[in-house]
Amino acid sequence: MQIECVSTKESAIKECDAIILGVTEGKKDLGFLRDFLSENLVKRIEKYFTRAGAPIRKNDILSFDGDGQIIYTVVLSKEPSMENIRQACGHTVDFVCGQVHRNVAVLADSFGTKEGNLTDRVEAMAEVIDLALYRFDPFKPKDQKRKDLKTCQFIFRDGKDVTKALKAVEIGRTVSESVNFTRDLVNTPSNELPPRVLADRASQMAKECNISIKIYDEKELQKMKMGGILAVSQGSVQEPRMIVLEYGDPKKPVDFAFVGKGVTFDSGGISIKPSDGMEKMKYDMAGGAAVLGILRTAAKLSLDVHIVGIVPAAENMPSGAAYRPGDVIWMGSGKSVEVLNTDAEGRLLLGDGLFLAERYKPKMVVDLATLTGACVVALGTVVVAVLGNDPKVILKIKEAGELSGERVWELPLWDDYFDQIKSDVAEIKNVGGKGGGTITAAMFLKQFVNYPWAHLDIAGTAWAEEKKPYFQKGATGVGVRLLTKMMRKQ
């Protein structure tokens, strides 16, 4: 799909199948639409929105026939936020595409907000259009695949805005491409994406983006004594991989290190999960996929940063060779861990990954993981849990969350919680018992860091169980927009 930015003077708005505009809830004067639409049509729309009993709920879509085109109006809240703009724009473009329109125009000036500026708004709108139109359908026959839009025009009243908008569209689409790259990885069935293939996909992306990459296989991990990832993978016929990517000037200090959980399928191991819903456990590598997406975005945007990305990848399966409850394993850091539950495997991979990150002496580290069901219980599916050892790092992530729409909520990581992961036979155990499961999992990870660090639990946000305003069911690619915004802001 092609996105164009034009002014009203040069626009080919009459060649479009449909026109999309935003109408703020409660707004009676729609005179600004006369720059784009006929006087008669504007009066009809104004009359409808001012009549008693008209539906004015946020994100409602109403259609009007006029001048050989269909006008789709989406209702914005009284004081639209940037996220309201994202939801309204993405939701409407997806709806219009489903109505078999192929060439649409978006009246960009009608999607106004007090937050940000013109470029922020246009960037966000371009970003969510690609996110909303995304479909994962490589396994479907061609006749079941939905046809996409051919063109989408952003129309502006002021021609001076067009140049700024073009750059904003380019940035927004670059970010969304990386999010969708991440979603493709997460949506791919586990038989098509074992650790070895995930590493191959990472290598291909790194080559395309001029990113350095090193992949450690099982023998190398044994030499490195990475006992966490080795223990998790030993029940599977699929060998583990430790994927390490580096972008930026290697002569400069590492600004950011990102570590992502890469469990390509999680059966729970010996502590096997219930069969109901187990098919979704292909998404247990969403944190690792997000790290790949973040590195891709940084390279595509040519960000002036030095980044390391680490993805410990393994498959957690039950077999005669699998690690067991009661086992004691030695992590790469040299710490001993008593395994009480083999379904608490992600923290074992991350422990090794976080320890490896220390080699690069990063200024700050962020890990991402679909780590705990407790996070879903505590926060549901609309917000990411953040915990860490440095208030400044957490504040940066919070601010980026508000700007990107991938919001976060901080949970405490007080030393009191350490008592729950003390072991009678080793230094620590891999579960902390009932209560505070998200916190005790983060407390486990904290034992492997010696730098400013934050942990993002994306268990509730990495997968959408139902359609959302600009996401279909399935992988969301959460974390890419959030941490890209954090890097760009810094």
Report the length, in residues, of the chain.
490
Residue 14, pLDDT > 70, answer no
Q: Is 182 among the domain residues?
A: no
CA–CA distance, 271 with 119 (Å, rounded to integer): 50
Residue 89, pLDDT > 90, answer yes
CA–CA distance, 436 with 421 (Å, rounded to integer): 11
User: Per residue in 28-45, is it b (16+ CB within 10 Å) or e — as a string?
Assistant: eebeebebbbeeebbebb
pLDDT for 142 equals 85
Q: Is 59 among the domain residues?
A: yes
Asked if residue 164 and residue 255 are part of one domain, the reply reads no
Average pLDDT, the chain: 93
Q: Is 31 among the domain residues?
A: yes
Query: Contact, 371 vs 430, CB < 8 A?
Result: no
pLDDT for 66 equals 75
Asked if residue 198 and residue 135 are part of one domain, the reply reads no
pLDDT band at 237 (very low <50, low <70, confident <90, very high): very high
Asked if residue 445 and residue 352 are part of one domain, the reply reads yes
pLDDT for 9 equals 67
CA–CA distance, 318 with 326 (Å, rounded to integer): 15
Residue 118, pLDDT > 80, answer yes
Q: Is 370 among the domain residues?
A: yes
pLDDT for 96 equals 93
Q: What is the pLDDT of residues 169-186, one digit of tens each?
A: 999 999 999 999 999 999
Residue 34 CB contacts under 8 Å (≥ 6 apart), including other chains: 42
pLDDT for 47 equals 82
pLDDT band at 251 (very low <50, low <70, confident <90, very high): very high
% of residues, the chain, pLDDT over 70: 97
Asked if residue 110 and residue 237 are part of one domain, the reply reads no
pLDDT for 52 equals 59
Residue 408, pLDDT > 70, answer yes
CA–CA distance, 204 with 286 (Å, rounded to integer): 18
**CATH number of the CATH domain containing 27:** 3.40.220.10
Asked if residue 205 and residue 137 are part of one domain, the reply reads no
Residue 157, pLDDT > 80, answer yes
Using a 10 angstrom Cβ sphere, with 0-12 exposed, 13-18 middle and 19 or more buried, the burial of residue 304 is: exposed
pLDDT for 55 equals 58
Asked if residue 64 and residue 36 are part of one domain, the reply reads yes
pLDDT for 93 equals 94
Query: Which of 155, 176, 197 lies at the terminal end of a domain, its last residue?
Result: 176
pLDDT band at 29 (very low <50, low <70, confident <90, very high): low
State the average pLDDT over residues 382-391.
98
State the average pLDDT over residues 58-62.
87
Of residues 54 and 460, which shows the higher confidence score?
Answer: 460
Query: Contact, 349 vs 310, CB < 8 A?
Result: no
CA–CA distance, 438 with 457 (Å, rounded to integer): 8
Q: What is the pLDDT of residues 415-457, one digit of tens each?
A: 999 999 999 999 999 999 989 999 999 999 999 999 999 999 9
pTM, two decimals, is: 0.96
pLDDT for 24 equals 84
Q: Is 183 among the domain residues?
A: no
Asked if residue 206 and residue 287 are part of one domain, the reply reads yes
Query: Contact, 433 vs 423, CB < 8 A?
Result: no
Lowest mean pLDDT among 39-48, 168-177, 339-348: 39-48
pLDDT band at 54 (very low <50, low <70, confident <90, very high): low
What are the backbone angles phi and psi of residue 62, rounded to the nearest 5°?
-120, 145
Residue 82, pLDDT > 80, answer yes
Lowest mean pLDDT among 14-18, 226-230, 284-288, 315-319: 14-18
User: Which amino acid is it at 150?
Assistant: K
Residue 293, pLDDT > 70, answer yes
Written as six digits, the tokens of 33 are 């639409």
Residue 53, pLDDT > 80, answer no
Residues that are catalytic: 273, 347
Residue 190, pLDDT > 80, answer yes
Asked if residue 132 and residue 231 are part of one domain, the reply reads no
What's the structural domain count of the chain?
A: 2
Asked if residue 214 and residue 164 are part of one domain, the reply reads no
Residue 7, pLDDT > 90, answer no
Q: Is 181 among the domain residues?
A: no
Q: Is 170 among the domain residues?
A: yes
pLDDT for 365 equals 98
Q: What is the pLDDT of residues 94-115, one digit of tens each?
A: 999 999 899 999 999 889 888 8
pLDDT band at 386 (very low <50, low <70, confident <90, very high): very high
CA–CA distance, 95 with 129 (Å, rounded to integer): 11
pLDDT band at 195 (very low <50, low <70, confident <90, very high): very high
User: Rounded to whole angstroms, what are the CA distances from 198 to 7, 97, 238, 242, 312?
Assistant: 44, 32, 12, 10, 10
Owning domain of residue 159: 2-176
List of E strands, 68-130 = 69-76, 103-107
Asked if residue 140 and residue 202 are part of one domain, the reply reads no
Asked if residue 229 and residue 148 are part of one domain, the reply reads no
**CATH number of the CATH domain containing 202:** 3.40.630.10
Query: Which of 156, 176, 196 lies at the terminal end of a domain, its last residue?
Result: 176
Asked if residue 344 and residue 447 are part of one domain, the reply reads yes
pLDDT band at 372 (very low <50, low <70, confident <90, very high): very high
pLDDT band at 134 (very low <50, low <70, confident <90, very high): very high
State the average pLDDT over residues 242-271.
98
